[in-house]
C-alpha cells in the first residue's frame, strides 16, 4: 500500500469520567463536527495500540502512566468514508472499519488538545446529541454506564 494513504481502519474511544460525563471534541476542520477520540490505525499497530496512541495524541491522557484501563468493547462498525476525506485513502477504499473502545477517567482529568479546537464534558444524552456520527452516538449509548463505578487506583508506594 502506498505510504501516503491511510489504512481504512480506525479506533473510536469513548471517554467518560467517574461522574458519567462524556468527553466530546470539536474538529479543527469542521466546527459543527463533534466526536469522541478517533484515529486511523497505523502499519504494524493493533486496534488497541491505535486507541492508546490516539487518546494520548488527542487529549494528553497517558493510559498506562495514569493506571487507567482501556476497555475493548468488542464492537466493530463499518461505515462509508466521508467523500471529503476519501482522497486520504487508497482509490478502492470506500468503507472504514472502526474498532470501539471505552475509557473511564477521573473527574477533572486534565485534557491537552492538540488536534481539536475545543472540548466539552457532557452528560450521556447531551453527548449523544452533540456528536456527529451515528456510530459515535451508538457507542456512547451502549458503553457509557448510567452510573459509573468510582475508579480504584493502585498506589505505587
| Domains of the chain, residue spans | 9-143
80 annotated to bind ligand: no
133 annotated to bind ligand: yes
Q: What's the rounded Cα separation, in Å, for the pair 91 and 1?
A: 11
Q: What is the dihedral of CA 6, 57, 98, 30, to 10 degrees?
A: -80
76 annotated to bind ligand: no
pTM: 0.90
The answer on pLDDT for 152 being more than 90 is no
| 119, 23 contact by CB (below 8 A) | yes
Q: In sequence order, what are the residues at sequence separation of 6 or more whose Cβ sits closer than 8 angstroms to the Cβ of residue 48?
A: 11, 70, 72, 101
Give the pLDDT score at 148. Answer: 77
Query: Is the domain covering 9-143 a CATH 3.90.79.10 domain?
Result: yes
Give the pLDDT score at 38. Answer: 96
86 annotated to bind ligand: no
27 annotated to bind ligand: yes
Amino acid at each position: 500500500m502506498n505510504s501516503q494513504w491511510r489504512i481504512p481502519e480506525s479506533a473510536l474511544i469513548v471517554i467518560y469520567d467517574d461522574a458519567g460525563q462524556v468527553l466530546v471534541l470539536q474538529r479543527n476542520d469542521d466546527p459543527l463536527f463533534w466526536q469522541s477520540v478517533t484515529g486511523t490505525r497505523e502499519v504494524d499497530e493493533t486496534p488497541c495500540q491505535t486507541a492508546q496512541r490516539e487518546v494520548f495524541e488527542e487529549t494528553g491522557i497517558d493510559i498506562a502512566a495514569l493506571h487507567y484501563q482501556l476497555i475493548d468493547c468488542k464492537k466493530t462498525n463499518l461505515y462509508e468514508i466521508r467523500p471529503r476525506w476519501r482522497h486520504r485513502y487508497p482509490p478502492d477504499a470506500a468503507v472504514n472499519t472502526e474498532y470501539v473502545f471505552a475509557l473511564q477517567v477521573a473527574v477533572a482529568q486534565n485534557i491537552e488538545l492538540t488536534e481539536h479546537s475545543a472540548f466539552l464534558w457532557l452528560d450521556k444524552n447531551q453527548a449523544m446529541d452533540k456528536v456527529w456520527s451515528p456510530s459515535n452516538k451508538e457507542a456512547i449509548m451502549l458503553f457509557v454506564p448510567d452510573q459509573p463505578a468510582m475508579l480504584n487506583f493502585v498506589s505505587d508506594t
